[in-house]
Structure 1
Amino acid sequence: MPTLKKVSRFIGGNEVRGKFDSHHKRLTGKGVKVGIIDTGIDYTHPDLFRSYHGGSDLIDGDSDPMETKATDGTETLHGTHVAGIIAANGKLQGVAPEAEIIAYRALGPGGYGTSEQVIAAIEKAIEDKVDVLNLSLGNTVNGPDWPTSLALDRAVEHGIVAVTSSGNSGPGVWTIGSPGTSSKSISVGASTPPQKIPYLKLSGTGKMVPITALAGSKEWDLNQGEEIVFAGIGEEHQYKSDMKGKIVLVERGKITFTEKALFAEKVGAKAIIIYNNMKGNFAGNLEIEVGIPVVSISKENGFWLKKQLGNGALVRTFYQNESDQLADFSSRGPVTYTWEIKPDVVAPGVAIDSTVPKGYLSLQGTSMSAPHVAGASALLKQAHPDWNPEQIKAALMNSAEPLKDKEGVYYEPTAQGTGRIDLTRALETEALLYPGSLSFGQVPLHGDRIRKKVKLTLDNQSDEKKAYTFKYPPYTKGLQWGIPQKVEVEPKQKKDVFVTLDIYSNGMEAGLHHGWMDVEAGGRIEKLPYLYVVDEPDYPRVMGFEFGFGDTAGTYKYEFYLPGGADEMGIALYDPDTLRFEGFLDWGRNLQRGVVRKTFKKDELKLKEGLYKAVIFARKGSREDTMETDLILEDSEGKKR
């Protein structure tokens, strides 16, 4: 397991320790205020008390942002872990160990909170004039105008470098969630630091299945041939005594990861593998310590493993040293409607050890990658106190290392942005170029020539003249580029130029089209990703459904997001046991894009009390998408209607 020190060294942290600001002070983040909107932090931790400089509790409405303790509900540790990555200053050293941490507790017991609480925390951070703001949180709504994304844009307009995680719903496209969709913030995906990755291989097959340890799991150290058995969804009655000494495979869902693992441990299983119940892999956490390894795999690999069982094949574990690979769980863009490339960059987010209340723990997720970038931003702010958020974002994006997969092919820009951050190069970057990625928007299928134009700012922060030279991307049928010739920018000056793209979409495939443009800036090659969209792409038509009590007694409310509007939408309710249709909670036609909200009196419903399976659907054109969730109708005292 890589230590925090090794990860910091990997992204350039060690070299930074030998660099100084304009006042000849070593770059440690000293004097830079970093706000953390999260579950609070344990400011009594021996590695954090020096860095802690106060905060606010938006859950309880006071000035004590301590993590939730067991006596106050489901205890939390997330914010303390994030704070350690940024500014631990003790046994562990964060990226910016002498930065001043301002904590905002916007997520309460169990890590739950509302958009309103997060927005209130952003507003308080603006009021407190923090320099950098980290939000390792989010939802599954891919829209630029979700309230938390807009609030984060406002924070940047107030001079704050806002850093946010992209989400853990990868590897599919369109999986980035708000506030990672914020246009002006730095959205961060997850890559792997140098580490030893376990793969499973069944005897008689050539397939290698990567496994991902759940946060808090015992390390997977099996290396002999092991028998693997299936235990359904992992409920207690599905475990049998003959599973002792074997690896148990279960499906995600219905009960918690911890419950599944404890039941497996109870029958004497050697380890448990949880496969996803939706496409792709996932990153999960255990609530308490379990005595056996607990790992996750993708739905596709889970189905494959399940099909192989019963033929006597044994599973063996093989270990491979890897680094700079994208984490499967890391959410991908682009952003709907604006078609912006997100994430902007990636940073290590797998097996990251950091501070938690009463100790240390290894966790993973884009929640762990974002604070690496927040810490890096603090060092850049110390080195360049006059730089605005756009310049700091540009320095990180322009200097990033574009990553390649195991076959040596660059990951798509919508998966990695400009690449994995490199702190040393970011601090050395003086020829800035922003925006750090180019979005040419949407064109119709089989259309005539359409010209798209994007403005680029060339910002020379050095004391000497710098030249920018643009190179044409590889030839693509249907595209005609108009790029600047060699452009020279005087010291401490900026110059705006335009890149044009004529798109002849006739004969092109519908969907996302992206690539890279090389720009030589100040003697160094930078890879500038670009994207354009042909026709109406296949993004989900409905997202983020929530249902609960209204703000006044005797009412319910719901909300969801339509990224492209809808010709028709409905919330259909079914009996969860018989799947018999019981009625519509709501239905409508010709809805505009954006957030859909409604509050209604419970007496207006012609539905009986109890549990329902809700199917939320939205249709636009020839495409219809659905979401399913459980929904309970009961009064505000918890009684069913």
Structure 2
Amino acid sequence: MRQVISSSLFTGASFSVNTEHLIDAIKSIPGAIAIYPIYFASGPQYFENYWPIGRKSDNQSDSISAHKLTGVDRVHKELKNFGKGVRIAIIDNGIDYYHPALGGCFGPDCKVAFGYVGDEFSGSHIIPEPDDDPLDNCTHIAGILAANATEIVQTNYSPLEPFIGVAPQATIGAYRIFGCSENGTTTDLITAAIYRAFEDKADIITMSVGSMGSYAERSDAVAVKRVSKAGVYVVCSMGNDGRKGLQTGANPAIAKDAIAVGSVDNSYEAQLYLITPNGEKIFYIPGIAYGGWRSTICSTIVVNDPQATSNDGCSGPSKPVEDAVVLYAVSRADTCNSTVRCNKAAEQGAIGCLLYNIDSIIGSSVIPSGSISLEDGQSIIKIVTENSSAIFTFTNMLEFNPMLTVGAPSPFTSLGLTSDLLFKPQISGIGGYVYSTISSYAAQNQYLTNAYASYSGTSMACPYVAGTLALYLSQIGNPAPETVNKAFNNGTTHRPSISEVLNLFQSNANPVNIYNSTLLASTVQQGAGLVNAFQALTATTIISPSELALNDTTVHIWPEYFQLDPGQSRTVTLKFHASDGANPNFLPIYSGFIDVANDVDEKVVHVPYAGVVGNYSDARILVRNNPQGFITGIVGDDGYYITDGQELNITAAGVFLIILVTAWASRTILVEVVSAENNGLPELDLNHGMLFDPLQRKPLYFVNVPRNGATGFSESYEEYSLYLWSGLVAQVVTIQNDLFLRTTRLAPGRYKLRFSALKNFGDYRNDNDYEVYYTPSFNFFY
């Protein structure tokens, strides 16, 4: 037994079973209504933009706060609203409640007042060890929500500039679902945390956790739906896999009643810097392995290759670098990484290593390392070319550096739509370059003198939006969740439903542009736009519904413009038409906004929409042609995809590789071995001919399969899925009225593999709704 959940919304338990037990056998358990597989969910994902390692700079920006971008500053100043009385549960990896910006205590009358955690848990452990002392790293999230870092005198807790969170008077709960390793958790534990937070009277739940999406049918997605219907708002990070392309939203953010949040970049980033001989500052991102300079030093810089050819420094410095900092160029054609270059420089006596034309690096583990922009690299080269003895000052000081990408969608933010073409994300928050609290442990572990850091990710944008919901609930008196959807005749305010809240916040969000462009970013990237708390809390106009998922249908709007006077109503016919020239074979997504203007106060509200050009049901799921070489099929013992009639000697090979590559998600995929002559199942008296993976000890039958992604940008969406086959096929047998899975060795013969993937919107019971791919035939023998 893993988890026992007893909630007013759900009663259930999770447990582990042997591979041979089938779902039908589990369904026969008395009282069982539904069964959900347990999935692994990876640890929190965020990007450390810098490692603050020292004193603050003498020159500070006027403000580090994101609140001017979101109207939160006006809610604080004009409405005097700081989220008082609202309870927010954070489901993540624990809070360092000793941090003075977070109240310094845990329990009643503290800022961090409730929660539940387990210490001895990771995705590989069976059962967490519960206790009541929430500690560790979602301290950054808690600071975004509710920090008050304005009057802190302790040296190790003094921020670069005083700041407050979105809802600093809200009460925080910590539900820690990760162990100390933070490598991952499981969906049954996430589910248990959601229901427990609900029973603990949370008003809002924020979850910066999730895993590859596809379909919102997991137990945690069901929990989100039930809790939301019961009046508790669940805000989820959309994910950081935007570079992988469309349909990369995380689960449970893709759940219908979850508020999925994308990320927009902040105004400033706190960065370390070096000083040129003429007094100019150059900001850099420290390497992950060692970090930046831990004290202020003065040094010359050796430019390894002023011509910036490829593989600069891969063989080590080409010039003497002893007691100097070396500068390397980076290009797309390089075949070595920053660690190789910087370590070789350290071996020759270098005291530091800089790489330019790259965002971030791992660097050396023994000397300070950092990355700078192409322009700054060229500036250093010009200085050194004119004077090779020029002295640069490398500091341990920070300064807030204005961001050119302010107000644009963060490049990492995951994209919608869902695999069912539902509208996601709903809205965006500030998630790029967010300065907030971190735990004292994290600060010490990274040689930080102050417990604050600047991180990026939808993990940061999610609590930001949750904080604006807290301001809203506080503004209307925080009606109890149980009043949701109820009408009162005595003037009592009810808790707005999740759809009412979305109507308010989406209608009044601010659409944002693509970076360095006058074009709006797609709604599958930004949702309704960047949250505007003040406009939402003072709104006079709301549109319902506040989002339109157009599916793959054709829609038009009529009339396009009209005037609506007080007391009047008007029916609008919507007929959308995609851009001319859109090729339906590629299933492109189109999107936009419908604007509604109010002539009284000139405020504009809007409705975002998105749809697909082409027949989504005909989308080719199984990849059979790929310039990069990875396709769906079987690899022979020669390391290549098999050709027709190839001999497969399982005794010599041991196992064969089965590769699955999907261009789109599918609810069901199975791999079977069939006769090469008639595509029928082999004559083994089997009712299933599915391949069996001896390593994973399960048949190649998959549900809710996410699509694969392009190479190089993400750990979540791999280029392909790899399985092993040792000649075993799966057989379903009945023993004493129970169904079990038994494996049988395939007889020698001539076969094919059949890959079957359920099409979009398909019925799994209808054979015609499957896309089927047959491999070349092969002669199988032992």
Matches within 5 A, 1:216-227: 218=292
Higher CA-based Rg? 2
Instruction: Choose from 191, 196, 201 the match for 1:124.
Output: 196
Instruction: Choose from 575, 578, 581 the match for 1:501.
Output: 575
Q: Specify whether residues 512 and 629 from structure 1 end up closer, same or farther in structure 2 by C-alpha distance, changes over 3 A only.
A: closer
Instruction: Give the structure 2 partner of residue 368 of structure 1.
Output: 460
Give per-residue Cα distances to partners, 1:139-160, cap 9 Å, x unaligned.
2324343544343233211211
Q: Does 1:173 align with 2:246?
A: yes
Instruction: Give the structure 1 partner of residue 518 of structure 2.
Output: 408
Q: Specify whether residues 97 and 576 from structure 1 end up closer, same or farther in structure 2 by C-alpha distance, changes over 3 A only.
A: farther
Deviation at 1:362, TM superposition (A): 1.3
Gaps of 5+ in 1: 21-25, 69-76, 199-209, 276-280, 306-311, 313-317, 444-449, 453-478, 544-567, 610-616, 634-641
Instruction: Give the structure 1 partner of residue 472 of structure 2.
Output: 380
Matches within 5 A, 1:338-377: 339-358=421-440, 359-377=451-469
Using the alignment, how far apart are the partners of 1:117 and 1:542 within structure 2? 33
Matches within 5 A, 1:156-305: 156-171=228-243, 172-195=245-268, 218=292, 245-247=326-328, 249=330, 268-272=351-355, 291-294=368-371
Residue type at the aligned position of 1:161: Y
Using the alignment, how far apart are the partners of 2:312 and 2:637 within structure 1? 22
Secondary structure of the equivalent of 1:402?
coil
Using the alignment, how far apart are the partners of 1:534 and 1:101 within structure 2? 44
The more displaced of 379-388 and 10-19 is 10-19
Residue type at the aligned position of 1:116: D
**With CA pairs under 8 Å and 6+ residues apart, which has the higher RCO, 1 or 2?**
2
Give per-residue Cα distances to partners, 1:410-456, cap 9 Å, x unaligned.
1111111121122211211132223322111113xxxxxx6x6xxxx
Deviation at 1:100, TM superposition (A): 0.7
Secondary structure of the equivalent of 1:333?
coil
Using the alignment, how far apart are the partners of 1:178 and 1:434 within structure 2? 26
Deviation at 1:355, TM superposition (A): 0.9
Instruction: Choose from 64, 71, 75 the match for 1:16.
Output: 75
Q: Specify whether residues 578 and 5 from structure 1 end up closer, same or farther in structure 2 by C-alpha distance, changes over 3 A only.
A: same
Using the alignment, how far apart are the partners of 1:223 and 1:527 within structure 2? 56
Using the alignment, how far apart are the partners of 2:338 and 2:432 within structure 1? 19
Contact residue 4 and residue 354 of structure 1 kept, 8 A: no
Using the alignment, how far apart are the partners of 1:255 and 1:98 within structure 2? 50
Contact residue 424 and residue 527 of structure 2 kept, 8 A: yes
Deviation at 1:390, TM superposition (A): 2.5
| Structure with greater strand share of residues | 1
Instruction: Give the structure 2 partner of residue 325 of structure 1.
Output: 408
Residue type at the aligned position of 1:132: I
Instruction: Give the structure 2 partner of residue 422 of structure 1.
Output: 532
Using the alignment, how far apart are the partners of 2:373 and 2:721 within structure 1? 23
Residue type at the aligned position of 2:435: D
Using the alignment, how far apart are the partners of 2:133 and 2:640 within structure 1? 43
How many residues of Structure 1 are paired with residues of Structure 2 in the alignment? 511
Using the alignment, how far apart are the partners of 1:504 and 1:6 within structure 2? 39
Instruction: Choose from 166, 172, 186 the match for 1:95.
Output: 166
Deviation at 1:577, TM superposition (A): 13
Secondary structure of the equivalent of 1:27?
coil
TM-score w.r.t. length of structure 1: 0.64
Secondary structure of the equivalent of 2:143?
helix
Q: Specify whether residues 170 and 116 from structure 1 end up closer, same or farther in structure 2 by C-alpha distance, changes over 3 A only.
A: same
Deviation at 1:175, TM superposition (A): 2.7
Contact residue 265 and residue 291 of structure 1 kept, 8 A: no
Using the alignment, how far apart are the partners of 1:442 and 1:362 within structure 2? 40
The more displaced of 165-174 and 346-355 is 165-174
Using the alignment, how far apart are the partners of 1:632 and 1:260 within structure 2? 37
Instruction: Give the structure 1 partner of residue 614 of structure 2.
Output: 535
User: Percent of pairs identical after alignment?
Assistant: 22
Deviation at 1:54, TM superposition (A): 1.7
Instruction: Give the structure 2 partner of residue 627 of structure 1.
Output: 719
Q: Specify whether residues 497 and 102 from structure 1 end up closer, same or farther in structure 2 by C-alpha distance, changes over 3 A only.
A: farther
Instruction: Choose from 377, 391, 401 the match for 2:500.
Output: 391
Using the alignment, how far apart are the partners of 1:540 and 1:284 within structure 2? 37
Gaps of 5+ in 2: 1-59, 122-127, 151-162, 272-282, 379-384, 386-400, 441-450, 479-494, 624-630, 643-652, 672-687, 698-704, 709-716, 726-782
Secondary structure of the equivalent of 2:369?
coil
Deviation at 1:226, TM superposition (A): 5.4
Q: Specify whether residues 497 and 218 from structure 1 end up closer, same or farther in structure 2 by C-alpha distance, changes over 3 A only.
A: farther
Secondary structure of the equivalent of 1:349?
strand
Contact residue 336 and residue 539 of structure 1 kept, 8 A: no
Residue type at the aligned position of 1:529: P
Q: Does 1:433 align with 2:543?
A: yes
Contact residue 190 and residue 366 of structure 1 kept, 8 A: yes
Using the alignment, how far apart are the partners of 2:181 and 2:344 within structure 1? 22
What's the C-alpha RMSD, in Å, of the aligned pairs? 5.5
Instruction: Give the structure 1 partner of residue 750 of structure 2.
Output: none
Contact residue 144 and residue 166 of structure 2 kept, 8 A: yes
Q: Does 1:518 align with 2:595?
A: yes
Give per-residue Cα distances to partners, 1:40-91, cap 9 Å, x unaligned.
11111111134101201154342435335xxxxxxxx2x1101110011244
Q: Does 1:335 align with 2:425?
A: no
Contact residue 351 and residue 364 of structure 1 kept, 8 A: yes
Contact residue 140 and residue 178 of structure 1 kept, 8 A: yes
Contact residue 195 and residue 322 of structure 1 kept, 8 A: no
Instruction: Give the structure 2 partner of residue 637 of structure 1.
Output: none
